[in-house]
Structure 1
Amino acid sequence: MRSLVRSLFDAQSDELPYLIHRQETVARGELQDRVARQAALFAGYGIGTGSTVGLRTPPSFTQVEVLLALWRLGAQVLLFDFRLKPAEVAALCATCRPQFMVSAGTNVQATFGFRSEYEVVTERRAGGRAAGTDHRLVQFSSGSTGQPKVIGRTARSLAAEVDRFTRIPGMPGAGDRLLLLSSTAHSFGLIAGLLHSLAAGVCVVFAPRISARDILRTAVEHRITALFGVPMHYELLAAAVDAPALPELRVAVSGGELMPPQVAARFAERYGLAVGESYGTTETGVVAMDACGTLRPSVGPAAPGVVVREHRGELDVALDESPYLFESGGTQYADGWLHTRDRATVDGSGTVLVHGRADCLVVIGGLKVDLLEVENVLREHPAVEQAVLVHEEVTEAYVTTAAGAVRPTAEELLRWCRARLADYKLPRVIRVLESLPRTSNGKLLRQAAALRSAG
């Protein structure tokens, strides 16, 4: 891992700006000095090769320098999303048993928006155990259902993914200014956003808050040329009132979950730029990508070096070894293949078309129903902004209203669906909410209990 960190810094000039927030800029050379100072402090606690360290800090310059410092020492870093509640972190730590926990010294639950720096508190944890594998990044799956899986990435795996991003057409390069909205605690924001940018000489810019106003003001002020986010961010920007032109924006990519076609169309109409799509998993990193958005609704060709197959209607990705730690993967990895459990087709040219989660297919009265199909029909209603369906004993639909639209009734939405769907596909329950619950990295939550409580 030390060699990866060194190679990321050595790839470009120390004088190039790397991180920007408001009027504060950190050049690559300055960041390297900060990383060295943090590494010296952590070494004083006894952190070194094979130490297991939980890292829980909000998005910040501090998060970047601490992560790189721990990797420079050869530690295995367990990367926690700072939005996780203490009970969730405690449950994960009970499984992983990190020897140290590094966290922000302020109340992270009260944090609102991006801050450049945080005081760092390092705690030695009783009963912690050293790394038993050569994984240097440990993440937790952010799936919409079920218990999180514990996923390990080696230095070799991370280096290979950074290299893949450098070879994908349309990716930001030296001199680009990337507005990074994707979570830096999750794979796309961390690897495509931070690590690839460090290797490629891209300047990473952060908005002070995730609101259309702050995002657009930041984009104009820093003459943004690239934008990475999740569908939620593009929904915000597409609905912005009096949005300025962004003439220097040349690439916008959505990751994390598939973007609804209506959102992509509204963004393209508003800003004159097609939104690209990056598809991947925490286990594999990037799988397929179309940075320029020319192949929508296809995700794009498999990323360089990635081998995929269509197997029983689902997408598999070749991996040399299981990425799961503590036997948390169940049957999702077998015989050299990671079963994504996403329904997909791969055409003769290798282009991947993802149709949605396999668990979005339910059987009602002996007939298969694609919940995503029903969601898309609901989204086509002029008053609906977003929709989520779940199915337990019956199919339930939860929707939110588009900005400025008159709130529709459940009866009106049912009539809309009945005119467009076979009767067996109709949701039995429709509820209109102020907002839909999401996972910690912005994905819509598809858990019936959480959706019911939100109502």
Structure 2
Amino acid sequence: MAPSYRDAPWLARLSPAQRVTGTPPPTVLHAFRATVRRAPDRCALAYFDGRLTYRQTDELSGALAGRLAASGFRRGDRAAVMLQNTPHFVLAVLAVWKAGGTVVPMNPMFKAGEVRHILDDSGATALICGDRAWADFLREAAAGSAVRTALTACPFGLQTRDDARVLRGERMPPPDGAEDLLTVARSGARPPADPGLGPQDPALISYTSGTTGAPKGAVNTHGNIAHNAERARIGSGLPDGSTYFALAPLFHITGMVAELGSCLVNAGTLALAHRFEAGVVLDAFLEHRPAYTIGPATAFMALMAQPGAGRDHFASFHLVSSGGAPLPPALVERFRTAFGHYLHNGYGLTETTATTASVPPGTEAPVDPASGTLAVGVPGPGTLVRIVDERGAEVPFGGHGEIVVSGPQVVPGYWRRPGATDAALPGGELRTGDIGFMDPDGWLYVVDRKKDMINAAGFKVWPREVEDILYAHPAVREAAVVGVPDDYRGESVRAYVSLRPGTAPQAAELIAHCRERLAAYKAPREVRILADLPKTTSGKILRRELRDDAAGRARQGKTGGGA
């Protein structure tokens, strides 16, 4: 019989310890409470020079939960949380779960219309947010929604040393129409009775970016989160009580699970630094000496570009991972040269509650010799990854097709979207929309999103392949490739790049670099050089904005190959 994906060849890439399925706790909250009982004085949260023990974190979040319950918040209710990487975020998440509710994480960069859509769609009855955002626009955005309880947090208050690089702005006066989160947390309010949450209960409603239509909420259950958090604990081999650094935003599924969830399951310390600023992050590495972090490729590019960055900043790390955005092979080597660590790739989606595949510690991902694509890793035990064609039939190992995933981390569906659930999760197996392939050894490669494929005169061009070639140029810091409407070819290839400090290549040089290494139809006909590429707060380059820019320029009849 021909080899099958169900043979799980990837398990041979794992060590015996990594192949252990493990027994995750019913919820991450169970793991947190277990640590409160056995190590109450262990540091749970570190924020600049502020520290909270597990006992203090339990007491503060318990008082918040009590206040929510007193306001009428009940099991199954939803609470929107819109905060940066601060202790307030963690306290809010734990409080909502202790009250039996579901957390609706929101990006602090959202505008009023985006917030209102999520509040209305989720039916959130509580909103926990920054005090300035509440005063500026959230109070108005929430008016007329189901929200009846609002708690606001100031980024100050849990540390004494303010860092003006990230903690900008004056302290706000007491919020109008909301309560101060820390005042409530320190009130000593009695926590509600244990709601008895289990693996099947919804823990998060995580709204996708909505590349087509309005964003929809993926329902991540407590079982989804606990499974991937436990898998990360086992797979990483980190000692009990290790320090994790929150490089990825906690409101993003990667940060929520691979940082917060994994840290709590491992009874660790979570070090926080508000929002990403390269110099602040490097200082925090020296202060907190973390053993683990995960972030997008763009964050590691920024760290490498920071003056004074060196190996000592990463000396404490046991494992450094990248996820949430494509990882070019050239960046992996630059990072190793600069900091002495191999950057471990990973792959996952909101609908797979973060990790689907990762590069195990102690191994290095292969690079596909045909395309130059770096493998994203291998699945773990209990996860099935298959590659299928447009009819849903499996393609042989090495064949390109859509990546489909089933396992304990796959969400049961979308919030109040039965049609979208049926389309994306037929039979409970997720159709990811990503194109990739798997080699016979079980290494998974992601080629690109189906929607990002460029059709140049009938030839398929995957942006990732061109971007990887651009990243191999020593002057390129960031790269993104999109299709440009072309009357003759249908589409032609355009690249947008930002440059490393101290370099100044012309667009023609970058085009020639690609033409030497790619078929003529794949090489960009235009390169536009920008100071920075547009990105989400989770570090993903916004190809959609660049695609819109390209389409707009084409409509205006602008052509040329310059920067």
Residue 25 of structure 1 deviates from its aligned partner by: 1.0
Say if 2:298 and 2:539, in contact at 8 Å, map to a contact too.
yes
Determine the C-alpha separation between the residues in 2 that align with 1:450 and 1:439: 16
Distance 1:145 1:443, change over 3 A: farther
1:290 corresponds to 2:314:
no
Superposition CA RMSD, Å: 2.9
User: Superposition pairs for residues 364-383 of structure 1, below 5 Å?
Assistant: 364-383=456-475
1:401 corresponds to 2:491:
no
Determine the C-alpha separation between the residues in 1 that align with 2:208 and 2:532: 23
Say if 2:41 and 2:55, in contact at 8 Å, map to a contact too.
yes
CA offsets per residue over residues 356-389 of structure 1, 9 Å max, x none? 3233332221211122111222222222211111
Partner of 1:5: 29
Partner of 1:128: none
Distance 1:114 1:75, change over 3 A: farther
> Which residue identity does 1:405 align to in structure 2?
T
Determine the C-alpha separation between the residues in 2 that align with 1:241 and 1:143: 37
Residue 122 of structure 1 deviates from its aligned partner by: 6.4
Determine the C-alpha separation between the residues in 2 that align with 1:98 and 1:399: 40
Alignment equivalent of 1:204, drawn from 260, 265, 270:
270
Distance 1:383 1:146, change over 3 A: farther
Say if 1:114 and 1:206, in contact at 8 Å, map to a contact too.
no
User: Superposition pairs for residues 208-227 of structure 1, below 5 Å?
Assistant: 210-227=276-293
Distance 1:434 1:74, change over 3 A: same
Alignment equivalent of 2:61, drawn from 26, 32, 35:
35
Secondary structure of the residue aligned to 1:427 is: coil
Partner of 1:310: 387
Say if 1:277 and 1:293, in contact at 8 Å, map to a contact too.
no
Partner of 1:336: 428
Determine the C-alpha separation between the residues in 1 that align with 2:230 and 2:435: 27
1:160 corresponds to 2:227:
yes
Determine the C-alpha separation between the residues in 2 that align with 1:59 and 1:237: 18
Residue 97 of structure 1 deviates from its aligned partner by: 2.7
Residue 164 of structure 1 deviates from its aligned partner by: 1.8
Determine the C-alpha separation between the residues in 1 that align with 2:226 and 2:27: 10
Secondary structure of the residue aligned to 2:62 is: helix
Partner of 1:127: none
Structure 2 spans left out of the alignment, 5+ residues: 1-24, 137-153, 156-164, 181-199, 366-373, 390-400, 486-490, 554-562
Partner of 2:337: 269
Say if 2:45 and 2:270, in contact at 8 Å, map to a contact too.
yes
| Equivalent residue pairs, number | 443
Determine the C-alpha separation between the residues in 2 that align with 1:25 and 1:36: 18
Alignment equivalent of 2:128, drawn from 102, 105, 120:
102
Say if 2:483 and 2:547, in contact at 8 Å, map to a contact too.
no
Does 1 or 2 have the higher relative contact order (CA < 8 Å, sep 6+)?
2
Q: Quick check: which one's strand share is greater?
A: 1
Say if 1:145 and 1:446, in contact at 8 Å, map to a contact too.
no
Structure 1 spans left out of the alignment, 5+ residues: 124-132
Distance 1:2 1:368, change over 3 A: closer
Which has more radius of gyration? 2
Percent identity reads: 26
> Which residue identity does 2:75 align to in structure 1?
T
Alignment equivalent of 2:242, drawn from 170, 176, 179:
176
Secondary structure of the residue aligned to 2:532 is: coil
Determine the C-alpha separation between the residues in 2 that align with 1:280 and 1:218: 27
Determine the C-alpha separation between the residues in 2 that align with 1:422 and 1:398: 19
4+ aligned runs moved over 6 Å, structure 1: 108-112, 117-120
Say if 2:82 and 2:128, in contact at 8 Å, map to a contact too.
yes
When the two structures are superposed, what TM-score results if normalisation uses the length of structure 2? 0.72
CA offsets per residue over residues 320-379 of structure 1, 9 Å max, x none? 764222324572221221011222223444332323323333222121112211122222
1:151 corresponds to 2:197:
no
Determine the C-alpha separation between the residues in 1 that align with 2:239 and 2:432: 30
Determine the C-alpha separation between the residues in 1 that align with 2:279 and 2:261: 27
Determine the C-alpha separation between the residues in 2 that align with 1:322 and 1:272: 41
Determine the C-alpha separation between the residues in 2 that align with 1:41 and 1:273: 45
Partner of 1:18: 44
Say if 2:221 and 2:411, in contact at 8 Å, map to a contact too.
no
User: Superposition pairs for residues 350-389 of structure 1, below 5 Å?
Assistant: 350-389=442-481
